[in-house]
């Protein structure tokens, strides 16, 4: 480890982040500044903040490791990330959310839903879902960065975990959403160029695009006999082809990793709130192209490099990437960077991952803090103003502590699983009523509450009793029924909770809405005033 080079790289990075965070702090004068950046964010900052929040070490390290195990089939997630996470999110959700959020005077996603349906229950229930559930996602992002620091710098994993959490907490607590978005834009720029260099260097090292991809395709004839026999038995067909349709391997790839994250992006509270930080639809239109290019480069690079790491490790060690990483998907990318690249590159790429982790963690901690301060504390007590910001800042500290504790106790290969679980939970709880809120004037408070509760409860039930990866880890189903899952016949143990819970939420929302009294037309028309316009 070259302490001199490392110190210079890290110092320059921290000085840049510190300066940007300081500027944001100086410009944060009110609760509206703290929660929605004064609603006048530049489209470049908004787009990069959205993208950098969307793409974290969970995508680069976690899903990069998944790509090493599942292969190029994960590239379908790139398509969904751009189509759903950027185009549909900005064009069909963002514009209506921005205008309706202005009409309602909403400052957080739960408050947006609450004011749309005139229900305080929705606000503190949604806030509780966020505050209780999001630490899982925050912890896996922390784990991704800590694993890379551990591998690259030979630093204790737990020390790296705690240090990362403290650095992020400081500028989120004081800078609010403006501090988060300004630093996100800086970190997103670093991430963008870092990933271009990584994929370019990987292809160059392996002889070019054609040679590298051909070598990866050819591994199917060699590797499965000594490395992935279990994967082959469950549907694996190679790193450049899709698994056998309907197989356990296929269900995990499609339902959890592709659909769970691809669809769940629409209902991420930390992403939705960014739509309310710009002043017009023009900013959102300009942000679509920036965000689309950013997301493509980040996800495509991570997934391709993860898959191609198998070629490098097989050529040098005769092992698959997962074998070389000791069976832990979360350490594949760190192990590959440490083994294949010079130390100076590892230091530079560490800044890319540090940016990815900090940009996402800052948004997560901010959303959890505002969920506690604005959506739970203020809604329950009726107190507003400075006390809300104080409670929000306290909530951020609590969220950081919980994420660190989970980082200590969560098992190996958890990053991608934890990410897809959180995205699935939010989709089940929020997506049906969010779509109804911005598109369906007939939906009422009763239908929204029913859909919110039904989706979140169904998702939690399947996590604890139906989805094998989570149910086995928790052990409640085993203790109560004697089986790790309640339905043991295939493919149900590999079916992600989003496949079960989201349809339930949609059906319950629609049925209860039609069985109860419609909302007052005058009230709804006022909420929808100008929605869909400029």
**Burial zone of 385 (CB within 10 Å; 0-12 exposed, 13-18 middle, 19+ buried):** exposed
The CATH number covering residue 250 comes to 1.20.1730.10
Least confident of 252-256, 358-362, 479-483: 358-362
159-199 pLDDT tens trace: 888 888 887 777 566 655 566 667 777 778 888 888 999 99
270 in any annotated domain: yes
**Which pLDDT value is given to residue 244?**
85
DSSP per residue, 269-297: HHHHHHHTTSSSHHHHHHHHHHHHHHHHH
Asked if pLDDT for residue 338 goes beyond 80, the answer is yes
105-119 pLDDT tens trace: 887 889 999 999 999
Which domain range does residue 280 map to?
A: 41-415
23 in any annotated domain: no
380-433 pLDDT tens trace: 777 766 676 788 778 888 888 898 999 898 887 788 888 888 889 999 999 999
236-250 pLDDT tens trace: 788 888 888 888 888
**Which pLDDT value is given to residue 351?**
80
441 in any annotated domain: no
Q: What's the whole-model pTM score?
A: 0.84
**Which pLDDT value is given to residue 173?**
65
92 in any annotated domain: yes
Report, as an integer, the average pLDDT of 65-82.
90
267-304 pLDDT tens trace: 888 788 777 777 777 777 777 888 889 889 989 999 99
226 in any annotated domain: yes
167 in any annotated domain: yes
Query: What is the count of structural domains for the chain?
Result: 1
In 56-156, where does DSSP find H-type helix?
57, 63-70, 75-82, 95-104, 109-117, 120-153
Task: Give 125's pLDDT tier (boundaries 50, 70, 90).
Answer: very high
382 in any annotated domain: yes
Least confident of 256-270, 345-359, 415-429, 479-493: 345-359
414-424 pLDDT tens trace: 888 888 888 89
**Which pLDDT value is given to residue 174?**
61
**Which pLDDT value is given to residue 203?**
96
Dist. CA 436–CA 508, nearest whole Å: 12
Q: Which residue has the tokens 């800052």?
A: 362
Asked if pLDDT for residue 81 goes beyond 60, the answer is yes
Percent pLDDT > 90 in the chain is 26
In 427-496, where does DSSP find H-type helix?
432-439, 445-465, 468-474, 476-481
Report, as an integer, the average pLDDT of 307-335.
90
Percent pLDDT > 70 in the chain is 88
Task: Give 227's pLDDT tier (boundaries 50, 70, 90).
Answer: very low
526 in any annotated domain: no
**Which pLDDT value is given to residue 437?**
94
Residues 6+ apart with CB under 8 A from 462: 497, 500, 501
Measuring CA to CA, how many Å separate 49 from each of 59, 187, 288, 295? 16, 9, 12, 11
Q: What value, to the nearest 5°, has the Cα angle with vertex 422 and ends 416 and 423?
A: 90
Residues 6+ apart with CB under 8 A from 467: 485, 493, 494, 495, 496, 497
490-518 pLDDT tens trace: 888 889 999 999 999 999 999 999 999 99
**Which pLDDT value is given to residue 231?**
52
5-52 pLDDT tens trace: 767 777 777 777 777 766 666 665 555 555 444 455 666 677 777 777
């Amino acid at each position: 480890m070259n302490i001199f080079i490392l110190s210079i790289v890290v110092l320059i990075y921290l000085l840049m982040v510190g300066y940007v965070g300081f500027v944001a702090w100086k410009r944060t004068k009110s609760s509206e500044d703290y929660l929605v950046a004064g609603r006048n964010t530049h489209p470049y900052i908004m787009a990069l903040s959205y993208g950098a929040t969307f793409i974290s070490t969970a995508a680069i390290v976690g899903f990069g490791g998944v790509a090493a195990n599942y292969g190029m089939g994960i590239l379908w997630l790139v398509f969904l990330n751009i189509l759903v996470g950027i185009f549909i999110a900005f064009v069909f959700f963002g514009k209506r959310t921005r205008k309706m959020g202005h009409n309602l005077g909403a400052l957080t996603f739960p408050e947006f839903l609450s004011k749309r349906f005139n229900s305080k229950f929705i606000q503190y229930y949604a806030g509780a879902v966020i505050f209780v559930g999001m630490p899982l996602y925050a912890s896996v992002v922390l784990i991704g960065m800590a694993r890379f620091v551990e591998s690259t710098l030979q630093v204790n994993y737990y020390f790296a975990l705690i240090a990362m959490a403290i650095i992020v907490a400081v500028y989120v607590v004081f800078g609010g959403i403006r501090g988060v978005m300004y630093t996100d834009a800086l970190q997103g720029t670093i991430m963008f160029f870092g990933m271009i260099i990584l994929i370019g260097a990987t292809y160059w090292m392996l002889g070019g695009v054609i040679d590298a991809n051909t070598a990866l395709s050819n591994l199917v004839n060699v590797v499965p006999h000594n490395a992935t026999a279990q994967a082959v038995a469950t549907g694996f067909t190679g790193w450049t082809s899709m698994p056998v349709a309907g197989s356990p391997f296929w269900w995990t790839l499609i339902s959890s990793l592709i659909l769970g994250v691809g669809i769940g992006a629409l209902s991420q509270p930390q992403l939705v709130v960014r739509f309310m930080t710009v002043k017009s639809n023009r900013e959102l239109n300009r942000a679509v192209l920036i965000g689309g290019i950013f997301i493509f480069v980040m996800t495509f690079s991570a997934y391709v490099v993860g898959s191609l790491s198998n070629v490098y490790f097989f050529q040098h060690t005769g092992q698959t990437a997962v074998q070389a990483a000791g069976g832990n998907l979360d350490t594949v990318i760190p192990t590959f960077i440490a083994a294949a690249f010079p130390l100076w590159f590892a230091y530079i790429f560490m800044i890319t991952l540090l940016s990815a982790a900090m940009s996402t963690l800052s948004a997560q901690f901010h959303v959890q803090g505002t969920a506690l301060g604005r959506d739970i504390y203020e809604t329950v007590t009726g107190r507003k103003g400075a006390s809300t910001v104080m409670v929000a800042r306290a909530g951020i500290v609590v969220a950081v502590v919980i994420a660190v504790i989970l980082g200590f106790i969560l098992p190996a290969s958890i990053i991608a699983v934890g990410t897809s679980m959180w995205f699935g939970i939010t989709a089940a709880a929020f997506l049906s009523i969010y779509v109804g809120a911005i598109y369906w004037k007939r939906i009422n408070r009763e239908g929204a509450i029913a859909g919110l509760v039904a989706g979140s409860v169904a998702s939690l039930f399947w996590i604890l009793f139906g989805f094998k990866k989570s149910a086995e880890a928790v052990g409640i189903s085993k203790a109560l029924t004697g089986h790790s899952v309640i339905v043991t016949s295939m493919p149900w143990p590999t079916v992600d909770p989003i496949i079960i819970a989201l349809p339930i939420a949609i059906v319950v929302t629609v049925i209860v809405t039609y069985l109860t009294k419609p909302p007052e037309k005058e009230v709804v028309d006022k909420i929808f005033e100008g929605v869909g316009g400029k």
